[in-house]
Amino acid sequence: MEKILVVDDSMTYRGIISSILEDYNLVMAEDGSKAIEKLNKYDDIDIMILDLKMPVMDGFQVLSEVKKERKFKDIPVLILTNVDEIESEIRGLEAGAVDYIRKPINADSLQKRIEVHRDLIRARKEIIKKNEELEERVKYRTKQLELSRKITIDALTGLLEIRDVESSNHTRRTQCIMKVLGEKLLNDSPYSKSLNKLKVEEIYKTCPLHDIGKVGVLDSILLKPGKLTDYEYEEMKKHVKYGVDALIKNVPTEEDLPLVGTALNIIAHHHEKFDGTGYPKGLKGTDISIEGRMMGIVDVYDALSSKRVYKNAFPHEKSMEIIISERGKHFDPIIVDAFIKIQDDVIKIIKEYGADDE
């Protein structure tokens, strides 16, 4: 049963109310300050019946204290007034009381009014409980979804690692650099308005998929130690199309899942160049998605600063020189500028995950 705090300096009235509301769990207080004490003592008061005229601390002061305190402000307060105290009634209701009971008390009226508020409290508690359950369910589903996304991306990139196309260090390095670059562009660049926190997260979470289409390229080309012939290079370029096709065939539309749109852009655009000389479509400038332009720089930087069968790893300065020389040509100048600003982090990331690709 609901717990009701009855605050009245008159012992007679406290007795009358007790006998009318005998089915409830009642707590008594004989003045305002005792009422506050009881509220603090019991943290499960459901309803308060409050006399307005009392010594020590009157009902208005109690009301004002209750409404100020976060943990008490939602307790419905019913004020006790005399028939000739209409003004007090109005003042009490304005101060936050939800209802009034007039003295002399009518037993049926008091009981009915308490029942109304009891039902409201129960309904509110039920809604809070349902909301909490719903929140828990949403949290659980979100976690599951996150996990399945991660497993899918890890499994797909794992295929590239199995075929020796990429090392897991390359994946981690490019992912970490994309994260730092995305955050820099979001917080300190002319592109801050084209990005948001969620988009940056989508970009670095899906960027390991950029070369997923390489699983469709022949080993003799993919793993060739020397320079590719023109024919082989054309075959190699198809990895973009294979990646896009694989994703489009197997996943819902971009509208359904923005993450997929981001992944698609990264795959489709990471070999496009800012001046329009890239592949597969020869897109130019901002026709290339921001994630594609970002991936373009990070991918090239990582290839330059890693060891390959045909070349040693370039030192950071040399790699940066090449990147900067392509500012406005291969690469978006704004993203190059942001990349220059995050150099210290890039060096740290390369150190942590090693530039050891073969």
**Binding residues vs Fe ion (CB under 5 A):** 211
Nearest to 53 by CA among 86, 21, 79: 79
Give the pair of three-digit tokens for residue 114.
């308490």
Give least dist CB 183 to Fe ion, A. 23
| Least distance to Fe ion, CB of residue 316, Å | 22
Supply the DSSP symbol for 253.
-
Q: Which is nearer to Fe ion, 46 or 211 (CB)?
A: 211
Nearer to Fe ion, 75 or 297 (CB): 297
| CB-nearer residue toward Fe ion: 30 or 291 | 291
The Cα–Cα gap between 178 and 176 comes to 5
Report the distance separating Cα 101 and Cα 185, nearest Å. 63
Residue labelled with tokens 């605050």 = 7
Euclidean distance between CA atoms 109 and 14, whole angstroms: 16
Tell me how far CA of residue 213 lies from CA of 41, 188, 239, 271, in angstroms: 66, 33, 4, 13
CB 213 within 8 A of CB 239: yes
Q: Smallest distance from the beta carbon of 74 to Fe ion, in angstroms?
A: 58
Report d(CA 310, CA 320) in Å as an integer.
20
Question: From CA 300, how far away is CA 319, in angstroms rounded?
Answer: 9
Nearest residue (beta carbon) to Fe ion? 211
Query: How far is residue 191 from each of residues 116, 195, 197, 209, 327, measured CA to CA in Å?
Result: 56, 7, 13, 23, 16
Round to whole Å and give the CA distance between 132 and 140. Answer: 12
Alpha carbon of 94 to those of 47, 61, 88, 100, 251: distances in Å? 18, 13, 10, 12, 57
Q: Which residue has the tokens 């305002």?
A: 32
Least separation, in Å, of the C-beta of 221 and Fe ion?
13
- Is 214 marked active-site? yes
Q: How far is the CB of 131 from Fe ion (least distance, A)?
A: 46
Of 31 and 211, which CB lies nearer to Fe ion in the complex structure? 211
Residue 51 or 211: which CB sits closer to Fe ion? 211
Active-site residue identified among 34, 184, 205, 214: 214
CB of 210 to Fe ion, least distance (A): 6
Q: How far is the CB of 239 from Fe ion (least distance, A)?
A: 6
Is the separation of the CB atoms in 175 and 150 below 8 Å?
no
Bridge pairing between strands 99-103 and 47-51: unpaired
- By beta-carbon proximity to Fe ion, the closer residue of 14 and 210 is 210
Local structure of residue 110 (DSSP, 8 states):
H
State the catalytic residues.
Answer: 214
